[in-house]
Chain A
Amino acid sequence: MIEKYGTFFAGIALFVFLLIFADNFASVANLLNILKQASFLSILAIGFTFALITSELDLSFANICSLSGVIVGMMIFNGLPWPLAVVAGIGLGTLAGVLNGFLVTVLKVPSLIATLGTSSVANGLAFMLTGGVAFVGRWDPNFLFLARGKLGPVPLIVIVLVVVVGIALVFSTQTRAGVHLQATGENEEAARRAGINTRRNKVIGLALSGAAAGFTAVLLVANLSSAAPQMGGDFMLLGIAATLLGMTMFTPAKPNILGTVVGALIIVMLGNGLILLGAQYYVQDIMLGIIIIASVAVSASTLKQAAFSL
């Protein structure tokens, strides 16, 4: 009980604490803002979670998100139809993930190293394409609606999150392809001997991470109506922390979709609360570091296995 839901209840306690003690935390505008920020983070971190389910670390998702965002911004800025830019952004992210998968499964570069490399390449390309400055402009309202729109009182982005989470949840726990990802991560040799194509599954895990990064990039660009070369960078630690914190709940020590979403909510809420409580900007970084380490310490985790296999 504690093992499965401890962190979850700690998150609720944090929520109640902030409701009572943090001025303005309880305002509708603030709560909606938290929900929205947590939605971006969740979608991004769900991708990372899929890679981690196959026991591979993707350290490139944040910079791939930046690069995809820059491509989306550049295409729209240059007058191309925005749906095309959306497809290109998601496609580029997916392709980058497939490249990671190729490096890991064919060239046998450990994912920690391979994705560190592609991360740096993506970062460099993002700066190259922008010349270091953001694409900004007055963009098609239909495109901006993706992230800023509302259906009634509910932000569209929250609905998008619910759909993404629903699909990811069913896929990861209720389909053959989903449990094959898990089997691949849990015991690659056992999975291989059971006739599962473990290489393909690792490529799929990393490709999903890239696809999520591309999709999040689209949403972020629509939300900001700008595309800056470092726009995804801050999400790296946040996304990893959300996933690892998520591993402390529901199915302890295993990366899981619901855990990641709750983890993202807790982390965004914490960041927001700290600011409202008047904490200095650097406190959040310190907290994130502690969350990352503590989460892995409490779970005899897949991540440890991944690190050992290097």
Chain B
Amino acid sequence: MSSKIVMKNIFKNYGAVQALRGVSIDIKEGDVHAICGDNGAGKSTLIKILSGVETPESGELWVSNSARKFTSPTDALTSGIATIHQDLAVAPRMTIAQNIFMGAELTKKVLGVTLLDKPAMRRDALGYMSQLNKSITDMDTKVEALSGGQSQAVAICRALRWNADIVILDEPTAALGVRETEQVLELIRALKHAGKTVILISHAMKDVVAVADRVSILRRGENQIDLDAANLTADALSHYILSGDRDSRAA
């Protein structure tokens, strides 16, 4: 399979903190590629670079075989990369529909003037939401009234709405119950089935081995191991992350 995203030798500092120290990663088209690692390993930082939220000090980024330099989230979105960030980035006092369509509102022409098409946004928002959580039906509810898991569903719907080739999910199941988690995993499978490339960050080993094709492990801002996820068990994955030991790969 061809490479969809290639990152080469990425460095990123926050002041004195070296969050990424020469990370390279190769993500194949159509894969669910998991990125694992302990707290502070640099996973979210890598995602922020891929989504244009942060710019790296150095390193190369290739998307679909062309070199890119993202200087804003818009650059990543227009390159077909949609991201659900770990901190969700929702606007609590705005409605579910407004949050889902933020930045990509649907419009219609009324007497030659382009106005928001609120009924269409409500309808489509409900369509996205029903893939994840059928209990939320009123798209005019403010996000501040939702639970953590429900807000997460809103953030995921926002990423779906971009209809991007590449979907990145940073800890999408961290706040979810058993059933909601299963729905997110099902959604990831559906995205893969639709030919999309998915990048999944998760601390839930069970979820990772359930859906991932490949796993990259980061450790203190550096690549540790790249694994094929077929036949990988949750226990084995935990072991790799904790030991950080390449040689134990055979185990």
Contacts and interface: CB of A to CB of B under 8 A. Distances in A.
A47 B73 CA distance: 29
Nearest to B117: A174
Contacts of B74: 195, 197
Interface string A163-190: 0000000100011100110110011011
B89 interface: yes
A51 to B, nearest CB: 18
Nearest to A180: B103
Given A189-B89, A195-B103, 13 more contacts: A175-B115, A175-B116, A180-B103, A182-B94, A183-B94, A183-B98, A186-B94, A187-B91, A190-B89, A192-B53, A194-B104, A195-B73, A197-B74
B76 to A, nearest CB: 9
Contacts of B83: 193
Shortest 4 CB-CB contacts between residues of A and residues of B: A194-B103, A187-B91, A190-B89, A186-B91
Interface in A258-286: none
Categorize the interface residue count of chain A: 20 to 34
B85 to A, nearest CB: 7
A99 interface: no
Contacts of B158: 194
15 contacts: A179-B105, A180-B103, A183-B94, A189-B89, A190-B102, A192-B73, A193-B83, A193-B85, A193-B89, A194-B89, A194-B104, A194-B158, A195-B74, A195-B77, A253-B93
Contact of B102 (A174, A191, A254): A191
A187 B115 CA distance: 23
Nearest to B155: A190
B92 interface: yes
Nearest to B88: A190
A191 B93 CA distance: 13
A233 B83 CA distance: 48
Interface of B: 51, 53, 72-74, 77-78, 83, 85, 89-94, 98-99, 102-105, 107, 113-116, 158
Q: Counting chain A CB atoms within 10 Å of each CB, which of B91, B104, B105 scores highest?
A: B91
A197 B113 CA distance: 22
A175 B89 contact: no
A196 interface: yes
A42 to B, nearest CB: 23
A191 B114 CA distance: 21
A192 B71 CA distance: 12
B92 A196 contact: no
B107 A176 contact: yes
Nearest to A184: B91
Contacts of B102: 183, 190-191, 194, 196
